[in-house]
Amino acid sequence: MLKTLLTLGLIGLLAAALLSGVHLATRDRIASEQQRQALATLNQLVPESEYDNALVEDWFNAWISGLSAPSTIYRARMDGEPVALLADVITPDGYSGDIRLLVGLTPQGEVIGVRVLEHRETPGLGDQIELKRSDWIRQFDGKSLAQPPAQSWAADRRGGAFDTLSSATITSSAVIEAVGNVLAWYAANRENAFEIRTESKDSSTSETRDGNNP
Amino acid sequence: MNAGSIEIWRQGLWDNNPGLVQLLGLCPLLAVTGTAVNGLGLGLATLFVLVISNLAVSAMRGIISPEIRIPVFVLVIATLVTVVDLVMQAWFSSLSRTLGIFIPLIVTNCTILGRAEAFASRRPVGDALIDGLAQGTGFAAVLVVLGAAREIVGHGTLMADAHLLLGDWARALEIKFLPQQTGLLLAVLPPGAFIGLGLMVAARNRMIRSRAVRAEASAHTDPQTA
């Protein structure tokens, strides 16, 4: 009996030792890979040549109404001047739960572009929000809260100004309203959005959110 | 290759296929086979874990008493899956992003525990290695075939997004059968997985039955011709 227990304990120890070894050996590489991936995501909307700050590290958390909190806001600057603001946000209103979006804004509050980072929408219907499946997501490019006006930030099937994907009204509305919410938040925080101090990396919750999502 | 190992291969690929006959590991099997590439990815990861866990269990079979074998198997499998997950995140990060959700699913795949219990814990290391390869290949084959069928019917493509798994050269592997958005949606949704697997099991059963009928028929006629 004692021998059995010892065997089990020994195998458990071996497994623990193996895992800690592998963890130590891969930790730094995983962190740098995650950093690289986060940057590649942001570069989809703001090309590397247009900013010169450490984009991935220049961020803060924001609480935007209508979206899952907290959202992560990245800021691109060139020679210290604001170039773009990139909001990594999650809307809980998708047809099958959360949709994670990256919304890029100019300092003037105009949409540079929107990209879908993660979603579980219906294949063949709701997944048309992905850029690789249709150009639907490009309809936001160049839009702002003035053009169209704030009350028109809704799907056309619900009386708004934006195209609705057929058979995916809920998905479409979730994305359209999420972008509208980001714009409304920026309109209210325009003065200080580029001034807020960057949050320290150690207390970062968004870092893990960025990295651990498959 | 000797007769024993050929028999192990035949068991894994056809006679005792984990997906079609043992019906083990259905949770990951049904969940990820929306496309051929997803099926291939999970198939390869499962194959790898199965081979290593068979080796480890077989190597330890002398020192493990029956009372603790199940906890030990579970410990070995969970450790291996975690190692695979970490290594993939570090060195194959794009692959890890596409397969990320499937890797932890391997722990829930009862094929691996099943092979450890039914085979690896009773056989020498060499046999266990072959069994891991054979069962893993059999499982991967089912995943790829089911994924391909659902992808063709549901999306009208085959091997779409192969570059995420195999590198950029694999973009050329994609074949388009239908214009965009004309596929049958049902095939991609969860019911399509059950229907597809059901059809595969039925097709296999039919092949075996018709072969048995033919064998019987020839057994009847043989004595007369002789």
pLDDT category of residue A35 using cuts at 50, 70 and 90: confident
Could you give the CA distance from residue A173 to residue A153 in angstroms, rounded to a whole number? 9
pLDDT category of residue A21 using cuts at 50, 70 and 90: very high
DSSP secondary structure, A156-208, as one string: GGGTSSB---TT-HHHHHHHHHHHHHHHHHHHHHTTTTTTSPPPPSTT-SHHH
For residue B175, is pLDDT > 70? yes
Q: Where are the domains of chain A?
A: 48-209
B103: tokens are: 């890797």
- B43 burial type by CB count under 10 A (0-12 exposed, 13-18 middle, 19+ buried): buried
More confident residue, B101 or A71: A71
pTM: 0.74
Provide, as residue numbers in chain A, all residues whose Cβ is less than 8 Å from the Cβ of B81. none
More confident residue, B180 or A182: A182
The per-residue pLDDT for range B69-108, each reduced to its tens digit, is 889 999 999 999 999 889 888 887 777 776 666 788 788 8
> What does the pLDDT average to over A148-164?
89
Write out the residues of chain B at the interface with chain A, using a CB-CB cutoff of 8 A: 34, 60, 63-65, 67-68, 71-72, 75-76, 78-79, 82-83, 86-87, 89-91, 93, 96-101, 154-155, 180-181, 183, 185, 188-189
Q: Of B63, B65, B86, which is closest to A26 when you measure between CB atoms?
A: B86
Binary contact (B68, A4; C-beta < 8 A): yes
Of B89, B102, B107, whose CA–CA distance to B50 is shortest?
B107
Predicted confidence at residue A209, as pLDDT, reads: 42
Helices and strands (DSSP H and E) totals, chain A: 3, 5
Predicted confidence at residue B222, as pLDDT, reads: 60
Could you give the CA distance from residue A120 to residue B189 in angstroms, rounded to a whole number? 12
Binary contact (A124, B188; C-beta < 8 A): yes
The per-residue pLDDT for range B137-170, each reduced to its tens digit, is 999 999 999 999 998 888 888 887 777 777 777 7
B209: tokens are: 């039955």
> What does the pLDDT average to over B127-131?
94
C-alpha dihedral sign at B128, B44, B102, B183: negative
Predicted confidence at residue B96, as pLDDT, reads: 78
The per-residue pLDDT for range B12-56, each reduced to its tens digit, is 888 888 888 888 888 888 888 888 888 888 898 899 999 999 999
A186: tokens are: 């920026």
Of B40, B118, B120, whose CA–CA distance to B80 is shortest?
B120
Predicted confidence at residue A204, as pLDDT, reads: 43
More confident residue, B222 or B204: B204
Binary contact (A30, B89; C-beta < 8 A): yes
In three-state secondary structure terms, B203 is helix
Could you give the CA distance from residue A7 to residue B12 in angstroms, rounded to a whole number? 31
Of A68, A128, A74, whose CA–CA distance to A100 is shortest?
A68
Binary contact (A37, B60; C-beta < 8 A): no
The per-residue pLDDT for range A105-147, each reduced to its tens digit, is 999 999 999 999 888 888 778 888 988 888 999 999 999 988 8
Binary contact (A7, B100; C-beta < 8 A): no
For residue B190, is pLDDT > 60? yes
Question: Lowest mean pLDDT: which of A34-38, A150-154, B92-96, B112-116?
Answer: B92-96
B93: tokens are: 């990060």
Tell me what ipTM this predicted complex has: 0.72
